[in-house]
């Protein structure tokens, strides 16, 4: 079946709903995508018929074992991991990263160095800063290029040396959509034996990940950003799967990814993860391997999202009083369809409130990318307005967004006027 945004939208009940008798538009995908009906069916189906824990000699426990296996296999295909055993699950990316940071830093020594960036969500900054503080390690902060909000990759690679133990870096900014050249960073890190920990939460809904091609040691993402439930997942490279010493209860398994999974998992969530990846792959050749179907589906997503990006940027150039922070061209190798904006006379929160009154869902603030907001000197101005699109968004929704923005900016002479609309 050929992808169209209309066919995708038909699989999301939220996209056709009305709130207070008005249609809704979701431009808040970077904060959490909508969930497909297939995901909901699999989650409620598991909870309604098979809710159990692992290790039992009865049907529902055996089904739970299968649900867990299926989820690992699906994420393995999504990330192109060497084996399902390289996939570990947790509550969310932030919790997983704090957990893994303690394990990974266990053998750090005073004077060791780590690298974090101003482009990152602070889940991939604070966790490492605190681990470094515990071990008296040195933290280096790499800035972004303010002219287009891309990471200064050359400066980052130049900072890597024989003392570097780990580089924590995002694959794409959750605020500006800026994409990072991870392969260049892993190549530099590998020359000195440093580890690379990649936050791919924002990248995963828009681009198909290949951890083997990236050469990273760890990569984390969250299913609720790609049309699934609130589940975090981590890729752990083969060389670290048994070598790392996790913090865990003594009776828990010490073999495979279960070593890193503390407590009982959300098995209904794991059922939803598999369904979400099946949703992503549905536009590929029927009967083909899952990875191939994902490749074909993501090619269709790229084409549509680049069209949305191109159209949005075209409309934005005609909007007086708005400023874009981010790469200014619709190139999916350089950005995702996520846009950070400020306005000449109004705060991001005032514009977000105005949009909200029109059922246009978009957020404002720092979005936990504190280093980015600080470097751009936007913390006192309320951060940015974020417009984030997914492949289920349409040109018609963009038109509606700009109708509201144009009316507001043309008619209102002051922030108070906007606030009163």
Q: What is the CATH number of the domain that holds 204?
A: 3.40.640.10
Q: How many CA atoms lie within 13 A of 195 on its CB side?
A: 22
Give tens-digit pLDDT for 187-207: 999 999 999 999 999 999 999
If asked whether residues 259 and 314 sit together in one domain, one would say no
Q: What is the CATH number of the domain that holds 24?
A: 3.90.1150.10
Statement: residue 376 has pLDDT above 50 = yes
If asked whether residues 16 and 67 sit together in one domain, one would say no
If asked whether residues 312 and 247 sit together in one domain, one would say no
Task: At 100, list the tokens.
Answer: 């893994």
Number of H helices, E strands in the chain: 15, 17
If asked whether residues 205 and 76 sit together in one domain, one would say yes
Domain boundary among 228, 245, 280: 280
Statement: residue 411 has pLDDT above 70 = no
Q: Residue 421's pLDDT is what?
A: 44
Task: At 49, list the tokens.
Answer: 């018929």
Give tens-digit pLDDT for 123-152: 999 999 999 999 999 999 999 999 999 999
Statement: residue 413 has pLDDT above 80 = no
Give tens-digit pLDDT for 78-109: 999 999 999 999 999 999 999 999 999 999 99
Statement: residue 419 has pLDDT above 60 = no
Distance CA 154, CA 18 (A): 48
Distance CA 405, CA 421 (A): 12
**Which residues have C-beta within 8 Å of that of residue 42, sequence separation ≥ 6?**
271, 272, 274, 275
Q: What is the percentage of the chain residues whose pLDDT exceeds 70?
A: 97
If asked whether residues 189 and 232 sit together in one domain, one would say yes
Q: What is the percentage of the chain residues whose pLDDT exceeds 90?
A: 95
Statement: residue 374 has pLDDT above 50 = yes
Q: What is the mean pLDDT of the chain?
A: 96
Length of the chain counted residue by residue: 421
If asked whether residues 118 and 133 sit together in one domain, one would say yes
Give tens-digit pLDDT for 282-293: 999 999 999 999
Give tens-digit pLDDT for 103-127: 999 999 999 999 999 999 999 999 9
**Which residues have C-beta within 8 Å of that of residue 277, sequence separation ≥ 6?**
74, 75, 77, 78, 228, 290, 294
If asked whether residues 402 and 374 sit together in one domain, one would say yes
Domain that holds residue 231: 40-280
Distances, alpha carbon 112 to alpha carbons 169, 266, 362, in Å:
18, 36, 41
Residue 285 placed within a domain: no
- Of 421 and 35, the structure prediction assigns the larger pLDDT to 35
Are residues 117 and 168 in contact, defined by beta-carbon separation less than 8 angstroms? yes
- Of 324 and 419, the structure prediction assigns the larger pLDDT to 324
Q: Which band of pLDDT confidence, cut at 50, 70 and 90, is reported for residue 389?
A: very high
Give tens-digit pLDDT for 244-265: 999 999 999 999 999 999 999 9
> Which contiguous run of DSSP H or E holds residue 62?
helix 59-79
Residue 397 placed within a domain: yes
Residue 409 placed within a domain: yes
Domain boundary among 280, 296, 318: 280
If asked whether residues 114 and 261 sit together in one domain, one would say yes
* Cα 246 to chain centroid, rounded: 25
Residue 294 placed within a domain: no
Q: Residue 410's pLDDT is what?
A: 81
If asked whether residues 126 and 274 sit together in one domain, one would say yes
How many separate domains does the chain show? Answer: 2
Statement: residue 414 has pLDDT above 70 = no
Residue 287 placed within a domain: no
If asked whether residues 202 and 62 sit together in one domain, one would say yes
| 3-state SS class at 89 | strand
If asked whether residues 219 and 364 sit together in one domain, one would say no
If asked whether residues 17 and 155 sit together in one domain, one would say no
Residue 245 placed within a domain: yes
Distance CA 18, CA 24 (A): 6
Residue 112 placed within a domain: yes
């Amino acid at each position: 079946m050929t992808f169209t945004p209309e066919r995708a939208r038909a699989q999301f009940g939220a996209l056709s709903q009305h709130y207070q008798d008005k249609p809704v538009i979701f431009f808040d995908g970077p904060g959490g995508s909508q969930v497909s009906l297939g995901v909901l069916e699999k989650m409620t189906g598991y909870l309604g018929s098979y809710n159990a824990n692992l290790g039992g000699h009865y049907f529902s426990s055996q089904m739970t074992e299968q649900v867990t296996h299926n989820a690992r296999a699906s994420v393995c295909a999504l990330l192109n991991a060497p084996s399902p055993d390289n996939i570990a699950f947790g509550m969310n990316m932030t919790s997983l990263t704090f957990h893994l940071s303690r394990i990974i830093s266990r053998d750090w020594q005073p004077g060791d160095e780590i690298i974090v960036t101003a482009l990152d969500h602070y889940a991939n900054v604070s966790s490492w800063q605190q681990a470094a503080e515990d071990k008296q390690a040195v933290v280096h902060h790499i800035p972004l290029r303010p002219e287009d909000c891309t990471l200064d990759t050359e400066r980052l690679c130049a900072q890597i040396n024989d003392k570097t133990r780990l580089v924590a870096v995002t694959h794409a900014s959750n605020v500006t959509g800026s994409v990072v050249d991870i392969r260049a960073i892993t190549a530099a890190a590998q020359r000195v034996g440093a580890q690379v920990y990649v936050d791919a939460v924002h990248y995963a809904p828009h681009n198909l990940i290949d951890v083997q091609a990236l050469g990273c040691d760890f990569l984390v993402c969250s299913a609720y950003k790609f049309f699934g439930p609130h589940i975090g997942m981590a890729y752990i490279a083969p060389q670290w799967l048994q070598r790392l010493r996790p913090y865990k209860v003594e009776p828990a398994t010490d073999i495979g990814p279960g070593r890193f999974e503390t407590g009982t998992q959300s098995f209904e969530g794991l059922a939803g993860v598999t369904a979400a990846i099946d949703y992503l792959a549905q536009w590929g050749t029927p009967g083909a391997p899952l990875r191939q179907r994902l490749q074909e589906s993501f090619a269709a997503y790229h084409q549509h999202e680049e069209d949305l990006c191109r159209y949005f940027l075209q409309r934005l150039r005609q909007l007086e009083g708005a400023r874009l922070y981010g790469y200014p061209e619709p190139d999916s190798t350089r950005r995702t369809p996520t846009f950070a904006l400020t306005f000449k006379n109004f705060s991001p929160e005032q514009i977000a409130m105005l949009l909200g009154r029109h059922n246009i869902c978009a957020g404002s603030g720092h979005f936990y990318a504190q280093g980015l907001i600080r470097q751009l000197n936007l913390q006192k101005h309320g951060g940015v307005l974020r417009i984030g699109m997914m492949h289920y968004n349409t040109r018609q929704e963009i038109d509606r967004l700009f109708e509201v923005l144009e009316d507001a900016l043309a008619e209102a002479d002051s922030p108070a006027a906007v606030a009163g609309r």
